[in-house]
Structure 1
Amino acid sequence: MRIFTAALATETNTFSSICIDRRAFEASLYAPPGEHPETPTLCTAPITVGRKVCADKGWTLIEGTAAWADPAGLINRQAYESLRDEILDQLKAALPVDAVVLGLHGAMVADGYLDPEGDFLTRIRDIIGPDVFLAAELDPHSHLTAKRVAAANVFVAFKEFPHTDFVARAHDLWRITVETLEGRVKPVMSVFDCRMIDVFPTSRQPMRGIVDKMMAIEAADKDLLSLSVIHGFMAGDVPEMGTKTIAITNGVPEKGKALAQALGMELFARRGTFIMPQIDEKQAIAQALAIPEGPVVIADVWDNPGGGTAGDATVILAEMLKQKVTNAAFGMIWDPIAVEICMAAGAGATIPLRFGAKSAPGTGQPIDGLVTVKAVVPKAEMRFGESIAPFGDAAWIELQGIDIILSSVRVQSYDPSLFTALGLNPLERHILVVKSTNHFHAAFAKIATDILYCSAGSPYPNNPATNPYQRVRRDIWPIMADPHGPNFETS
């Protein structure tokens, strides 16, 4: 067997002012054919898993380019088209192939393309023809458009949020691919539109129980090859934004349709109950100070670079300074210019510095102060599960008893190693502030005495009922109270 694999992925917050060009992919991950590292990034696990699967089977794996950019705003048209065409040309050169297995995210939006993945998959289908198997792994925070479903045979999405299972789901994708190519299964994909948009953290109920139930059904039902929930991505202003469910069966589409609908309606019935409770910055700091032992983690949930924001909001930090909090560490604030200044000054220097809150309204005001540069590290990295997340040149500064990590590459706070990479021991601080909606939870829960979710400022469009959408359909909850009800009308 000859199988082609590649990855092209990012997540687009269409409300973000930070555009993505080719350099953004190169800063996060750009790996030409055969140069992908042994460890996967979030959306490239099909490549690393595919290497092992094909080696074990004695099959030929032809690797194309792998490209991942940390989430931000609109993708530059030339950047998208050049990466797309680079991979398409590699596929054409690899023909004939028996299958194409891809790593995608699913929430890209580019200048001139509201559905880049749909465009990409359709072009691949045109190249390989109707009979070659086409499969892709998706991030659940994506848009499952009709164009994508028409082009691909199989989609498998991560089940967990935080996304701790992207390697496991790549194994599921390859299992289905192998069984299909060896003639043991005939996968049929069924999709149900939940007509809703919500946030589904699997670190708490009720979504924890639903995911466990999904996996139990997969294990028990011999006709079922995979169940997935596409959470949707509320910061993507595109026509088909919303939550969908996928059931892949072995040739029994009616059963798949029923399973996808049952799962989708269970999600709809519990709408509004999934997201973690949030408090403002004043409450978060007061509660953290009242907890006798640390570290207490405060998550700045909506200034999350993983959702396309800058990660430079200073609302929580300003309140900490106002309340004269000490013995706290803040990780991270994105400010490449401030990092450059700190690196020029060097470790041990005390300098006046302005940093943060440069990207957009709702992120607070820049912080001014006399800071001590504690450490500088070029090309810093942190862990994220089985992968590595680079955050570029970085500096550890101290301001009025608060330790702050400044980064030059936007990336959310995945793991305590973001602190230790600079030489700071997070276990020695009473309060840790991180910028992440929920991906931080898997790693930080292991060291935290408590976790507080804080909604501070307005860097992210976090209320779909009031977000200023221009393209999103109106027939979904909470824009419509009950789109499945008797008075439902399409518009």
Structure 2
Amino acid sequence: MRVFTAALATETNTFSPICIDRRAFEASLYAPPGQHPATPTLCTAPLTVGRRVAAERGWTLIEGTAAWADPAGLLNREAYESLRDEILDQLRAALPVDAIVMGLHGAMVADGTEDTEGDLLARMRDLVGPGVPIFAELDPHSHLTAKRVTAATALVFFKEFPHTDFVDRAEDLWRIAVDTLEGRVDPVMSVFDCRMIDVYPTSREPMRGIVDGLMRREQADADILSLSIVHGFMAGDVPEMGTKVLAVTNARPDKGAAMAREIGLELFARRGTFIMPQIGPDEAVAEALAAPRGPVVIADVWDNPGGGTAGDATVLLATLLAQGARDAVIGTIWDPMAVQICMAAGEGASIPLRFGAKSAPGTGQPIDARVEIVRLVRDAHMRFGDSAVPFGDAAHIRFDGLDVILNSTRAQGFDPSLFTALGIDPLAKKILVVKSTNHFHAAFSPIAAAILYCSAGTPYPNNPAETAYRRAPRTLWPMVPAPHGASIP
């Protein structure tokens, strides 16, 4: 068997002011054929898992380019089209192939192309014809469009949020691909539109139990090849935005449709109960200061670069200063210019510095302080499961009893190695502030005395009922109370 694999992924917050071009991929991950490292990045696990599967079966794996950019705003037209065409040219040169296995995200939007994943998959389908199966793994914070379902043979989405299972789901995808190529299964996809948009952390109920139920169904029923809940991405203003359920069955579309509907209506019945309870910055800082021991983790949930924001909000930092907090660390504030100034000054220098709150309204005010430059690190990385996540050149600064990490490549806080990379012991701090919605939870919960979810400022459009959508459907809950009709509770 000859199987082509590649990856092209980013998550587009269409409300974000941080437009990106090809340099954003080069800063995060750009790996031409054969140059992808042994460990996967979030959306490239199909490639690394594929290496092992192909080696075990004696198949030929033809690797195309793998490219990932950290979430941001609209993708430059030339950047998308050049990366897309690069991968398509590689596929064309590899023909004939027996299958395609892709790593995608599902919420990428480019100037001129709203449904980039649908565009790429459809062009691949045109190249290989109707008889060659196409498989892809995607992030659940995405848009499941009709064009993607038409072009692909089977799609598998991460089940967990935080996304700790991207390698496991790549294994699932390859299992379906192998069984298809060896004639044991005939995958068909069934989709149910929940007609809602919400946030679904699997680190808490009720989503934890729902996802566990999906996995029990997969294990108990041979007809079910995969079940996915596509959360949707509320910061993506596109026509097919919203939560959907996808069932992949072995030639049982009727059964898949019934099961997807059952799961989807269960989600709808519990709408509004999934998201983590949040408190304001004043309450969060006061509660953290009053805690008997640390570290207390405060998650700055809506200034999350993983959702496409800049990650430069200073609202929580200003609150810490106003309440006289000490022994706290902020990880991170994105400010490439401030990092450059610190790099020029050098470790140990004491300099006046203005940083933060440059990207957009609702992010607070820039901070002016005389800071000590404690440590400087070129090309800093943190862990996220099996991945190494870059956050660029970084500076650890200290002032007024507080520590702040400034970074030059936007990245949310995934793991305590974010702090240790800059010489900070997170266990020795009373308060750890991370800019993340929930991906931090898996790695920080084992060390945290408490976790507080904080809504600070408005860098992210987090209330769909009030968001000024131009392209997304206005027929979803919570924009309307009963999108399924009065008969559905």
Shift of 1:192: 0.6
Which amino acid in the other structure matches residue 336 of structure 1?
P
Count of aligned positions: 488
SS of the equivalent of 2:478 reads coil
State the Cα deviation string for residues 255-302 of structure 1 (Å, max 9, x = none).
011111111111000000000000000000011111110000000000
List structure 1 segments (4+ residues) > 4 angstroms apart after TM superposition. none
Partner of 2:350: 350
Unaligned runs of 5+ in 2: none
| Percent identical | 73
Q: Matched residues in 2 for 1:470 and 1:399: separation?
A: 43
Alignment of 1:131-142 (within 5 A): 131-142=131-142
1:262 aligns with 2:281: no
What is the TM-score of this pair, normalised by structure 2? 0.99
Paired residue for 2:124? 124
SS in 2 for 1:162: coil
Q: CA deviation at 1:323?
A: 1.1
Q: Secondary structure at the match of 2:390?
A: strand
Q: In structure 1, how many angstroms separate the alpha carbons of the residues matched to 2:132 and 2:475?
A: 35
> What is the DSSP-based 3-state SS (H/G/I as helix, E as strand, rest coil) of the residue aligned with 1:438?
coil
1:79-228 equivalence runs, <5 A: 79-228=79-228
Paired letter, 2:32: P
- Letter of the aligned partner of 1:296 in structure 2? V
Q: Please report how far the alpha carbon of residue 30 of structure 1 lies from its aligned counterpart in structure 2 after TM superposition.
A: 0.2
1:30 is aligned to 30
Q: In the alignment, residue 166 of structure 1 is paired with which amino acid?
A: F
**Distance in 1 between the 2:55 and 2:337 partners?**
46
CA deviations over 1:325-366 (Å, ceiling 9, x no partner): 000011000000111111111111111000000000000000
Partner SS, residue 260 of structure 1: helix
1:305 maps to 305
RMSD value over aligned CA atoms?
0.8
1:5-47 per-residue CA deviation (whole Å, 9 max, x = no partner) reads 0000000000001001000010000000010000100000000
- Alignment-mate amino acid for residue 440 of structure 1: F
Q: Cα distance, 1:446 vs. partner? A: 1.0
Tell me the distance in 1 between the aligned counterparts of 2:177 and 2:81: 28
Q: Map 1:270-419; keep pairs closer than 5 Å.
A: 270-419=270-419
State the distance in 1 between where 2:59 and 2:442 align: 35
Q: CA deviation at 1:317?
A: 0.1
What displacement does 1:486 show?
A: 3.8
Q: Return the alpha-carbon distance in structure 1 between the equivalents of residues 399 and 238 of structure 2.
A: 42
**Aligned counterpart, 2:42:** 42
Which residue matches 2:2? Answer: 2
Alignment partners' CA distance in 2, 1:174 and 1:19 = 34
Name structure 1 gaps, 5 residues minimum. Answer: none
TM-score (norm 1): 0.99
**1:475 deviation in Å?**
1.5
Partner of 1:451: 451
SS at match of 1:289: helix
Is 1:436 the counterpart of 2:460 in the alignment? no
Q: How far apart are the structure 2 equivalents of 1:20 and 1:48?
A: 26
Structure 1 residue 487, shift from structure 2 partner: 8.4
Q: Give the CA deviation at 1:428.
A: 0.4
